[in-house]
C-alpha cells in the first residue's frame, strides 16, 4: 500500500517545509494537484512549483492533472520532476494519445475517473495504465466529504484487475480519513491520497502510521477471508 499526502492541504506559504514534512511523516508519494480553472473551478500551482520542490525530497511525485488540455503540460511537468502523471477519462477521445505521451516521456501512467462518470469508461485503457484513480469527491477543492457511492466503482476496478490479471494500482482521492481509507481498502483500494486527513492532524507522522495500520489490518483480514 501507498500513502500519498496531498500538498493541496499544506500551507501555501510553506510548500517546501510541508513537502519535507510529508516525507518525514512516512508518506511514500507526494500527491500534487494541478488545477487549471477550467476543468475544475479552481487554480492551484504549476510546473515551476513542482520543480522547486523536486530537489528537497526523495518522495515519488504523483501529479494529478485536473486540466482541460494536459497535452500542453505533460512535457513541462515531466521536466519539472513528475514521476507519474494522471489524466482524466472525461477527456474522451484524447485519453489514448495522452496515455501514450506520458509513457513515451518515461513516466508512470495514471487515469482518473470522476464520481459522476461511469466506471465502464475506463475499461478500454486498463492494460495501458499503472494506476487507476477513482475520485471519491468531485475534484476542485480539498476538505470535501467522501462520496460513499464511489465504493462500488472501486470494487469493480478490483474485480477487473483480478479477472484480467492486470496490476494497476487502485488509488482513491478526496475525503480520505482513517474511516474512509478503511472502507476503500475493504473493497480493493491500495493507494490513498489524503490532504486534510493528514495535514490537518496535530502530528502528521502519527496520522500516517495510524492510517497505514488501519489499512493493513483491513487488507490482511480481507485476504484471509
Ligand atoms: C481534489 C483533489 C484532491 C485533494 C484531496 O480535487 O484531487 O487530491 O487534495 O483533499 P482532501 O484529502 O482534503 O479531501
Ligand atoms: Zn488529487
Per residue in 175-204, pLDDT (tens digit) is: 999 999 999 999 999 999 999 999 999 999
Map residue 120 onto helix, strand or coil: helix
Residue 200 beta carbon below 6 angstroms from any ligand 1 atom: no
Which of 101, 119, 118 lies closest to 110 in space, CA to CA? 101
Ligand 1 atom closest to the CA of 196, numbered from 1: 13
224 Cα to the center of ligand 2, angstroms: 31
Average the pLDDT over 33-49 and give the result: 98
What average pLDDT is seen over the chain? 97
Q: pTM for the whole thing? A: 0.98
- Decide yes or no: CATH 3.20.20.70 for domain 2-224: yes
pLDDT at 213 over 60: yes
224 Cα to the center of ligand 1, angstroms: 31
The confidence band for 155, taking pLDDT boundaries of 50, 70 and 90, is very high
The ligand whose atoms approach the alpha carbon of 86 most closely is 2
pLDDT at 223: 80
Buried b (16+ CB within 10 A) or exposed e, 179-207: ebbbbbbbbbbbbbbbbbbbbebeebeeb
pLDDT at 207: 98
pLDDT at 98: 98
pLDDT at 221 over 70: yes
Average the pLDDT over 156-164 and give the result: 98
Residue 31 beta carbon below 6 angstroms from any ligand 1 atom: yes
What is the domain partition of the chain in residue ranges? Answer: 2-224
Residues annotated as part of the active site? 33, 173
pLDDT at 77: 98
pLDDT at 222: 87
Buried b (16+ CB within 10 A) or exposed e, 52-81: ebbeebebbbbbbbbbbebeebbeebbebb
Task: Determine what percent of the chain is predicted with pLDDT higher than 90.
Answer: 98
Average the pLDDT over 144-172 and give the result: 98
Task: Determine what percent of the chain is predicted with pLDDT higher than 70.
Answer: 99
pLDDT at 224: 66
Residue 110 beta carbon below 6 angstroms from any ligand 1 atom: no
pLDDT at 225: 55
Cα separation, 90 vs 55, whole angstroms: 33
32 Cα to the center of ligand 2, angstroms: 7
Alpha-carbon Rg for the chain in angstroms: 16
The confidence band for 174, taking pLDDT boundaries of 50, 70 and 90, is very high
The confidence band for 78, taking pLDDT boundaries of 50, 70 and 90, is very high
Residue 88 beta carbon below 6 angstroms from any ligand 1 atom: no
Cell of 76: 513541462
Average the pLDDT over 123-139 and give the result: 98
Amino acid at each position: 500500500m501507498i500513502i500519498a499526502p496531498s500538498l493541496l492541504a499544506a500551507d501555501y506559504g510553506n510548500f517546501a517545509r510541508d513537502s519535507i514534512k510529508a516525507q518525514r511523516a512516512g508518506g511514500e508519494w507526494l500527491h500534487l494537484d494541478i488545477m487549471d480553472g477550467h476543468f475544475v473551478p479552481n487554480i492551484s500551482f504549476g510546473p515551476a512549483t513542482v520543480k522547486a520542490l523536486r530537489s528537497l525530497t526523495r518522495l515519488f511525485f504523483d501529479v494529478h492533472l485536473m486540466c482541460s488540455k494536459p497535452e500542453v503540460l505533460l512535457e513541462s511537468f515531466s521536466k519539472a520532476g513528475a514521476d507519474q502523471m494522471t489524466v482524466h477519462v472525461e477527456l474522451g477521445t484524447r485519453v489514448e494519445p495522452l496515455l501514450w505521451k506520458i509513457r513515451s516521456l518515461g513516466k508512470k501512467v495514471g487515469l482518473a475517473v470522476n464520481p459522476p462518470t461511469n466506471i465502464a469508461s475506463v475499461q478500454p485503457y486498463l492494460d495501458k495504465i499503472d494506476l487507476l484513480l477513482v475520485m471519491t469527491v468531485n475534484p476542485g477543492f480539498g476538505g470535501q466529504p467522501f462520496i460513499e457511492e464511489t465504493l462500488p466503482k472501486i470494487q469493480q476496478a478490483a474485480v477487473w484487475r483480478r479477472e484480467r490479471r492486470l496490476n494497476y494500482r487502485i488509488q482513491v482521492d478526496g475525503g480520505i480519513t482513517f474511516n474512509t481509507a478503511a472502507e476503500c481498502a475493504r473493497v480493493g483500494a491500495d493507494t490513498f491520497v489524503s490532504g486534510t486527513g493528514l495535514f490537518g492532524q496535530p502530528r502528521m507522522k502519527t496520522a500516517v502510521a495510524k492510517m497505514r495500520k488501519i489499512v493493513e489490518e483491513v487488507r490482511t483480514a480481507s485476504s484471509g477471508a
